[in-house]
Amino acid sequence: MNAISPPTPIIPDNAPFTPAQRAWLNGFLAGLYGGAQAGQSAAPAPVEAEDFPWHDPALEMEERMALAAGKPLKRRLMAAMAQLDCGQCGYLCQSYAEALAEGREESASLCVPGAKATTKMLKSLLADAPAAAAPAAVKPAAVEKKTALVRVLQASRLTLPGSAKDVRHVVIDLAGSGLHYEPGDSIGLAAQNDPALVQALLTSLSATGDEPVPCPDGVQRPVREAFTTHLDIARPQDRTTELLAMAATHPRHAEALRKLTDGDDDAEPAHADLLDLIEAFPSARPPLADLARSLPSLKPRLYSIASSLRATPGQVHLCLGVVRDLRRDRLRQGVASCFLADRAIEMGPIAASITTSHFRLPADPATPIIMCGPGTGIAPFRAFLQERAALGQKGRTWLFFGDQRGATDFLFRSELEAWLADGTLSRLDTAFSRDQAEKIYVQHRMKEAASDLWRWLQEGGHFYICGDASRMAKDVDATLRQIARSEGRLTEDQARDWIVALARQGRYQRDVY
């Protein structure tokens, strides 16, 4: 028998508090009693011993650095990052900063959403404190994840003819892998570089492909194999441009490569892969072994899982945007997205692992949830809704979804409409930016529904966001603060504290990339 939980108390309008104080207290009580309703056995959330006031994506670099002034190097390094904890660098903001400060990580150019501004600030901070950034004598052991072989069964197109995007519904067979996941988790997949790109690179290097080179695991392999499956040739780091600069016999080539290493704003070629560098600087030809040694390892690509094991036993589903663009007269292809879309089915078994996430449904299915997932950001919310549908849960669920055009880019439309009809999904607000003269995005729909959104959150609702880290996530975060000010009558500082409180209660969760 389920225990009966007490109702969430609400501060009455005639209580001796200002509207801002009443809004804050209602939010606090909703989070407190929401946690109690989740079950008496639930462990209390750990108390964060240290406050990171700069860990706020809405703040500009100057503001973040001011807040971290006088702090230890690792905290100032953290403040220089984009504060999105998107994981594209292989770390979170805090752990990346600590790895740099302790010398366990050499590259200061891994923060993708922070881009050049973050790289330049990190390099400046490290240059001012070289002793603090010296390599540690002993590196902590890496946490091993279970890796198993899986097969890609399907990579069908979700977007319809006429769409400017190529979005795929990828289905992966877990049979025999022993892998297990929960809605909200991610899967890491070992992709391979495009064989045509590898051949073009070998040709530019005047290599046969059979020359032995070292790989990050310490094993010597033929350079073709190393470039295909072990080394990241799409995103060379500073140590590669440094090596090329030292090897360049042409002074202008060396100078241009040093500018790339320093992250100068006018450095060219911008956003270069290894082939760009080799073609642009023909006088820079270090030994193949040294070149391979300078390259980062080809890491598994993480994707938010778009399915529930209860609904799709033995399978992982993905919602995958295929990356292709023309730059410097050459078609560029996303390493993992094009591998999964074009070659993985014929490839056979590929290595995979599951990354457990903080991104979780509330323990109490009666807790209201608000999900904001434009584009492929819908992935974990399809998993959430599949899970709730499989369990027969009909709680209050609200989805904000957006893309370019409703006619061609309404991902999983039939499923969403079916869930809306049967009560699994109680509200769906859409924003298709190109369907009218003025572009409309999910944050505009949030503003239109500000009163209802604020009420859901005051009643203990959880807010989830998934998608683009560089723009959309910041815009949605800023919109939430604006709603807190307009509907809750909070000041700017109070709105910030309210957002922080939501996150600490586990009621504001982000899965951004």
Residue 152 forms beta bridges with which residues? Answer: 172
Q: Tell me the C-alpha distance between 377 and 352, whole Å.
A: 21
Q: Is the dihedral of CA 121, 124, 127, 129 positive or negative?
A: negative
**pLDDT of the residue at 513:** 76
SS3 513: coil
**pLDDT of the residue at 280:** 97
Residue 64: CB atoms within 10 A of its CB come to 23
- Mean pLDDT score, 114-121: 84
CATH number of 147-189+300-355: 2.40.30.10
- What percentage of the chain reaches a pLDDT higher than 90? 68
Residue 327 forms beta bridges with which residues? Answer: 330
SS3 238: helix
Helix or strand run (H / E) with residue 373: none
Q: Tell me the C-alpha distance between 179 and 315, whole Å.
A: 10
Q: What is the pLDDT of residues 464-490, one digit of tens each?
A: 999 887 778 889 989 999 999 999 999
Measured CA to CA in angstroms, residue 8 lies from 2, 28, 273 at distances of 17, 10, 55
DSSP letters along 427-485, please?
A: EEEEEETTSSSS---HHHHHHHTHHHHHHHHHTT-EEEEEE-TTTHHHHHHHHHHHHHH
Strands 147-157 and 350-355: antiparallel
Helices 19-37 and 450-458 cross at an angle (nearest 10°) of: 50
Residue 2 has pLDDT above 50, yes or no: no
Helix or strand run (H / E) with residue 422: helix 413-422
Residue 425: CB atoms within 10 A of its CB come to 24
Residue 385 has pLDDT above 60, yes or no: yes
Measured CA to CA in angstroms, residue 38 lies from 33, 156, 459 at distances of 9, 38, 14
Q: What is the pLDDT of residues 263-277, one digit of tens each?
A: 888 899 988 999 999
Q: What is the pLDDT of residues 138-191, one digit of tens each?
A: 444 444 579 999 999 999 999 999 999 999 999 999 999 999 999 999 999 999
Name the least confident of 224-228, 345-349, 419-423, 508-512. Answer: 508-512
Return the domain boundaries, the chain. Answer: 39-139, 147-189+300-355, 195-294, 369-512
Q: Tell me the C-alpha distance between 420 and 407, whole Å.
A: 19
The pLDDT confidence band at residue 10, using thresholds 50, 70 and 90, is: low
CB 64 within 8 A of CB 83: yes
% helix / strand / coil in the chain, to the nearest 5?
40, 15, 45
**pLDDT of the residue at 147:** 95
Residue 320 φ then ψ, to 5°: -120, 120
Q: How many helices (H) and strands (E) does the chain have?
A: 20, 15
**pLDDT of the residue at 97:** 92
SS3 381: helix
First CA to last CA across the chain, in angstroms?
42
**CB neighbours of 234 closer than 8 A, spacing ≥ 6?**
193, 273, 274, 335
For the whole model, what pTM was predicted? 0.84
Residue 8 has pLDDT above 60, yes or no: no
CB 292 within 8 A of CB 223: yes
Strands 315-321 and 330-333: unpaired
Helix or strand run (H / E) with residue 19: helix 19-37
CATH topology for 195-294? Answer: NADPH-cytochrome p450 Reductase; Chain A, domain 3 (1.20.990)
Q: What is the pLDDT of residues 281-297, one digit of tens each?
A: 999 999 999 999 999 99
Q: What is the pLDDT of residues 440-461, one digit of tens each?
A: 999 999 999 999 999 999 999 9
For residue 34, count CB atoms less than 10 angstroms from its CB and return exposed for 0-12, middle for 13-18, buried for 19 or more.
buried
SS3 17: coil
Structure-block tokens of residue 330: 């050459």
Q: Tell me the C-alpha distance between 5 and 363, whole Å.
A: 13
Residue that is written with structure tokens 């959880």 in the block: 462
CATH topology for 369-512? Answer: Rossmann fold (3.40.50)
Mean of the per-residue pLDDT values of the chain: 88
For residue 391, count CB atoms less than 10 angstroms from its CB and return exposed for 0-12, middle for 13-18, buried for 19 or more.
middle
Q: Distance of alpha carbon 185 from its chain centroid, rounded?
A: 12
